[in-house]
Structure 1
Amino acid sequence: MFLEPHFKGHRSGWIEVICGSMFSGKTEELIRRLRRAKIANQQVEIFKPKVDTRYDESKVVSHDANSIPSTPIEHSDQLLALSERVSVVGIDEAQFFDLDLPRNCEKLAMRGIRVIVAGLDMDFRGAPFGPVPSLLAIAEYITKVHAICPHCGNLATHSYRLSEEEATVVLGEKNVYEPRCRTCYHLGKVI
């Protein structure tokens, strides 16, 4: 097994997951937590998938245009080499990473690192998305955030795709997706 023994005096790390639908404030919450860690003079490193270039090539950017510098990476294995001498690791858009992400987050936590991950828990079909469900299973802390359904005002838990594209990964903003509650999501194009 890859886990190192727990020695007396060894600081324990943990995994926090922030999940929810599109436009629910996941990245905003991630940025808030990372900024607080920096205020506390903790060494922080932030990562995003290289494929996510919607707002910026290298910064993690929320839909409200708040941003924080980050390192774009192609594979979650890179987290291990790039997270030396840090106490907090932030990861945005977890759903776009490979399925090794949970294992690598656990390795970081075993090094005594606080790992904060944000991502969609479901894709546009309402199915579990990428490595996020496995992260939810191993996380010590889970925060599920919600958007507001623009059709009925209830809590939105789903990301409804407005375009006809069928690929699971389609980068987009408000012109491609909207948050919907369970009922409005299942009503689909009727609305």
Structure 2
Amino acid sequence: MFIEPSLAGGRRGWIEVICGSMFSGKTEELIRRLKRARIANLKVEIFKPAMDVRYDETSIISHDENKIISTPIENSQQILLLAQEVDVVGIDEAQFFDDELPNVCDQLALAGVRVIVAGLDMDYTGKPFGQMPFLLAKADYITKLHAICVVCGNIANYSFRKSPAKETFLLGEKDLYEPRCRHCYYTHP
């Protein structure tokens, strides 16, 4: 499905990306922006990958237990079907979506929608994660958040996996991951 570009009335869309390591506050910031859009009486739709059921099947919930209702979806094309006549689209855990997500975000922005995407910019191996590098390249605005390194207390931008598991997509929380700075990520196994 393709949404026609719409610049009627001067309404222009854009893409905002919120990225960083685990425990950096990405979801908290996404929720904050979406709640502010609702306060402004904008029509908001929120999506998350159906596979992410860590806290709740339908809500997006931050580590601080702040939450907002969302729609779990299997693939990014569903966003185009479900986000009709909206002002703002929020997308959490973008790294878990398929390779069409950057194109979907582009189409929404061209149609005059403000798109706010949150996700991990690097996987546990320190490599760019999923579609995030492509979203960062297309973004009009980027916010990179940092956690605090649990080893030394410095700014952390790596998600260190404490488990020997090798799969890229391994859902977990503090039981499996911890934030680390560059130095501690590479020097403290």
Structure 1 Cα separation of the partners of residues 86 and 4 of structure 2: 18
Count residues in correspondence: 188
Residue by residue, what CA displacement relative to the aligned partner does 1:68-109 show, whole Å, maximum 9, x if unpaired? 000000000000010001100000000000011000000000
Aligned to 2:149: 149
- Whether the 8 Å CA contact 2:91–2:116 is kept in 1: the answer is yes
Structure 2 Cα separation of the partners of residues 96 and 65 of structure 1: 21
Shift of 1:7: 5.0
After the TM superposition, which segments of 4 or more aligned residues of structure 1 sit over 2 Å from their partners?
A: 2-10
Aligned to 2:17: 17
Residue by residue, what CA displacement relative to the aligned partner does 1:14-70 show, whole Å, maximum 9, x if unpaired? 000000000000000000000000000000000000000000000001011111000
Aligned letter for 1:158?
Answer: Y
Instruction: Tell me how large the CA RMSD over aligned residues is.
Output: 1.3
1:46 and 2:46 are equivalent in the alignment: yes
Shift of 1:187: 1.1
Aligned letter for 1:82?
Answer: L
Structure 1 Cα separation of the partners of residues 113 and 63 of structure 2: 28
Gaps of 5+ in 1: none
Structure 2 Cα separation of the partners of residues 146 and 178 of structure 1: 12
Identity within the alignment, %? 65
Structure 2 Cα separation of the partners of residues 184 and 149 of structure 1: 8
SS in 2 for 1:150: coil
Aligned to 1:110: 110
Structure 2 Cα separation of the partners of residues 7 and 160 of structure 1: 44
TM-score (norm 2): 0.96
Aligned to 2:133: 133
Distance 1:5 1:32, change over 3 A: closer
Residue by residue, what CA displacement relative to the aligned partner does 1:109-153 show, whole Å, maximum 9, x if unpaired? 011000000000000000000001000000000000000001111
Gaps of 5+ in 2: none
Aligned letter for 2:107?
Answer: K
1:1-191, aligned counterparts within 5 Å?
Answer: 4=4, 7=7, 9-189=9-189
Structure 1 Cα separation of the partners of residues 3 and 44 of structure 2: 23
Aligned letter for 2:181?
Answer: C
Structure 1 Cα separation of the partners of residues 61 and 45 of structure 2: 15
Distance 1:162 1:111, change over 3 A: same
Aligned letter for 1:41?
Answer: N
Structure 2 Cα separation of the partners of residues 130 and 73 of structure 1: 17
SS in 2 for 1:28: helix
SS in 2 for 1:172: coil
- Whether the 8 Å CA contact 2:26–2:118 is kept in 1: the answer is yes
Structure 2 Cα separation of the partners of residues 93 and 7 of structure 1: 29
- Whether the 8 Å CA contact 2:6–2:112 is kept in 1: the answer is no
- Whether the 8 Å CA contact 2:12–2:111 is kept in 1: the answer is yes
Shift of 1:9: 3.4
